[in-house]
Structure formats: structure tokens, C-alpha cells
Amino acid sequence: MNTKIWLSSPHMSGNEQSYIKEAFDSNWVAPLGPNVNGFENDLQSYLNEDIHVAALASGTSALHLSLILLGVGHGDEVICQSKTFSASANPIVYQGATPVFVDSERETWNMCPIQLDIAIKDRIAKGNKPKAIVAVHLYGMPYKVDEINNIALKYNIPVVEDSAESLGSTYKGKNCGTFGDFSILSFNGNKIITTSGGGALVTKTQKQKEQAVFLATQARDNAPHYLHSQIGYNYRMSNIVAGIGRGQMTILDSHVAKRRSNHEFYVNAFKNNTKITFLNEPEGYFSNRWLSCILLDSESTREGLRLALEKENIESRPLWKPMHQQPVFKDAPSYLNGVSDELFEKGLCLPSGSNLTDIELNRVVSAINTYFVS
């Protein structure tokens, strides 16, 4: 059997262990310490904006804290892109609020501004103005930032930018992860850089960062004993994990370049296959191409191809199943136009890691070509 080709596996730079060793040598093993500050500073200077970064245990915890800081609570409604990973929506429910799902448009596969406007108007008419909008840059492709922000401004609703998949992407020359009232990043094992597991909250002010860190460290009031006047969380990143992040930051740009070249490789390889199409970058959009995705002509072609790749020990995965189709969210209000359903039926993510060799990429292409001639 051929060795397994993964969708997106961790890719270390070789620098990570020196940061971890330093943490061991100085006994900064317990939470917080120089690597946490160093990783936050690295992210802050990479994003190159007037922002502040709190390193956390996961992207999900960053989303949760952003909703808490926005005052989302029981009985509130929060708009969320339907086509996404469940982690974008789950924290809405943690807060006792209801997600309201909004469908995608075809140019970026992200939140459709037309449906968003319809949804907000309708929720206001029903007497429940949404408390926040969670918009997601899927697979590294920026959402329509200007359009979404203009609508958010028009109704005065804050945006939580889910940038879990888009560190290294830009929109009109500005970095993803800087567009929301709050933005989140993920360093989960399959992301463009990984800390094994981890995330970050990006805030506009130092005060918001301090509030997030306070909540993320069990909301300990300033006293010699343990004193709490609020419910807190154990959401902070550890100094060991942040050491991996510091090592990963040294190769982020080369990971983006490699993932983009994987995508180009597939585009070239299948340019004469009329059954395969790709998502192009609109003018002004720069995607990190976290995952290379293709659209097939039907659900049966997509599933047939997925199974054919599996037989060759090649991992691939259908595009995210929209949240409005998930059993757990079956009662949530949704504003739909059919786009995310169709993308789910016809879309497949191909192996996309920055550690893929030419031999592996060629194996994927020949397995796909064989499927289409058989």
C-alpha cells in the first residue's frame, strides 16, 4: 500500500524545539511566560496593524470570549455564516444565544451580503436585532469585507471575523485577522501554522485584550487570595505551546507560498478537465489557499472521486456541510439561497499541506485522472 497522503498535516520548521528547550531550561513550563509574549508580539507585527493579540487555548475559545466581550447573552440572536465549521457557531450556543444562519455567495463562498441584509431586516422586524455577525474567510479566501462591514455599520452591529483558516491572506492589501471588531485565529493541527492546538483573539484596544486575558485566566480579581466576582475560563495558551508558535511564525510566509503553489499545480493539471472547476481569486483578494478545493459536476462524481482517492490512500474531504443542514442546528432560523447546499454537494478539498512533495502531488493528480478515464 502507498503511504498515506493527508489533507493538511502539521509541518514543523525545525526552530520550534529551541523555544521549547528554552522554556524547559528556564522552567517556564507553567502557563504564561516569555514565549506567550513573544508569540503575541510576532503575530502583532505580522498582522502589521494597530491591533492587540491574546494567545489562547483554541480558536473556539477566542470566538467564545469575543461574544462574551460583546455582551451576547441568553435570548440574543447572533448571525453566523452557514457554510463553516461548527466551531464558528457553537460559542453562540454556549452563551445561551441563538445562531441565525446566512448563506454564501459564489465569488468567495463566504457570507452573502444580500442574504445578510435580508436576514438583519427580518430579525429586526421580528423584534430581535442581532447582537453580532460572525463572518468567516473559508479555506483562506477572504469574505467580501467591504460589503459585510458596510452592512454591519448601517445597522450598527459588531463583526466577529473568523480568520481561523486565513492567516496569511489579504484583502485589498490588508491582512485577514484585522477586519472585525474582534478577530480570531486558530493554530489547530491542520492549520497553515500549528501549535498542536491553540488560537488567538485579535482586539482593537489593549483594554479589550486585558479583559480577554482576565476572563481566560479564571477571572481572578486583584487580591492575595483567590477572589472572583465574575465567571472565568481556563482559555490561556501555555508557554510550551507558544514556543511551537514562535518557531512556526518563522516559516509562515513560505507555507503560504507553498500552499498557493499546490493550488496552481492542481489548476494546471486539470485545466482541460471540463468536470473540474476552481474558485478564482477576485481582484484585490489574496488567499493563503489553506485548502485547495475543486467543484465537480455532481454529487455522485464528487463522492465517486472521494472514494477512488481513499482507495489510493489519499485523504480528501467534502466542503463544509452548512450549519443549517446540521441536526444540532435544525431549529435555527436560516436565510438561504441554495449556494452553500450546492457547494457541499459538488465540492471536494484535495491534499493541500505545505509539506507535500512533488511525488505526492503527482500521485493525487494521476489518481484523479485515472478516476475520470475509468
Ligand X SMILES: Cc1ncc(COP(=O)(O)O)c(C=O)c1O
Site for ligand X in 125-144 (CB under 6 A): 136
- Spell out a b/e string for 88-116, using b for 16 or more CB atoms within 10 Å of the CB, else e: bbbbbeebebbbbbbbbbeebbbbbbebb
Between 270 and 329, name the residue whose CB sits nearer to ligand X. 329
- Which residue(s) pair with 132 in the sheet? 78
Between 110 and 115, name the residue whose CB sits nearer to ligand X. 110
Between 188 and 248, name the residue whose CB sits nearer to ligand X. 188
Given a contact cutoff of 8 angstroms between Cβ atoms, the answer to whether 195 and 241 are in contact is yes
Between 97 and 164, name the residue whose CB sits nearer to ligand X. 164
The whole-angstrom separation of Cα 330 and Cα 321 is: 13
- Angle in degrees, CA 111, 163, 32, rounded to 5: 150
| Residue least distant from ligand X (Cβ) | 59
Between 200 and 356, name the residue whose CB sits nearer to ligand X. 200
Counting contacts by CB under 6 A, is residue 351 touching ligand X?
no
Helix or strand run (H / E) with residue 371: helix 358-373
Chain centroid to Cα 91, Å, comes to 14
Site for ligand X in 273-332 (CB under 6 A): none
The whole-angstrom separation of Cα 308 and Cα 327 is: 28
Counting contacts by CB under 6 A, is residue 164 touching ligand X?
yes
State in angstroms the smallest separation of the CB of 298 from ligand X. 26
| Strand 182-186 to 132-136 pairing | unpaired
Among 42, 76, 77, 162, binds ligand X (CB under 6 A): 162
The whole-angstrom separation of Cα 335 and Cα 125 is: 14
**Closest C-alpha among 362, 347, 228, 256 to residue 293:** 347
Given a contact cutoff of 8 angstroms between Cβ atoms, the answer to whether 338 and 103 are in contact is yes
Beta strand segments in 253-302, E: 285-286, 292-295
Binding mask 169-208 for ligand X (x = CB under 6 A): -----------------x-x----------x---------
Site for ligand X in 72-91 (CB under 6 A): 84-85, 87-88
**What contacts 24+ positions apart, CB below 8 Å, involve 124-131?**
124/155, 128/76, 128/77, 129/77, 129/155, 129/157, 130/76, 130/77, 130/78, 130/79, 130/100, 130/157, 131/70, 131/71, 131/72, 131/76, 131/77, 131/78, 131/97, 131/157, 131/158
State in angstroms the smallest separation of the CB of 255 from ligand X. 16
Between 66 and 188, name the residue whose CB sits nearer to ligand X. 188
Between 252 and 276, name the residue whose CB sits nearer to ligand X. 252
Total number of residues that touch ligand X (CB under 6 A)? 14
The whole-angstrom separation of Cα 170 and Cα 141 is: 9
Task: Kindly indicate which of the ranges 17-25, 39-47, 57-65, 119-127 contains the residues binding ligand X, using the contact rule CB under 6 A.
Answer: 57-65
Between 116 and 368, name the residue whose CB sits nearer to ligand X. 116
Counting contacts by CB under 6 A, is residue 58 touching ligand X?
yes
Among 40, 76, 161, 165, binds ligand X (CB under 6 A): 165
Between 81 and 98, name the residue whose CB sits nearer to ligand X. 81
Between 8 and 301, name the residue whose CB sits nearer to ligand X. 8
State in angstroms the smallest separation of the CB of 332 from ligand X. 17
State in angstroms the smallest separation of the CB of 320 from ligand X. 8
State in angstroms the smallest separation of the CB of 227 from ligand X. 30
- Only one residue has cell 459538488, namely 346
Task: Kindly indicate which of the ranges 3-11, 21-29, 160-168, 295-303 contains the residues binding ligand X, using the contact rule CB under 6 A.
Answer: 160-168
Given a contact cutoff of 8 angstroms between Cβ atoms, the answer to whether 52 and 44 are in contact is yes
Among 38, 59, 180, 245, binds ligand X (CB under 6 A): 59
Given a contact cutoff of 8 angstroms between Cβ atoms, the answer to whether 354 and 252 are in contact is no
Q: Which residues contribute to the site for ligand X (CB under 6 A)?
A: 58-60, 84-85, 87-88, 136, 162, 164-165, 186, 188, 199
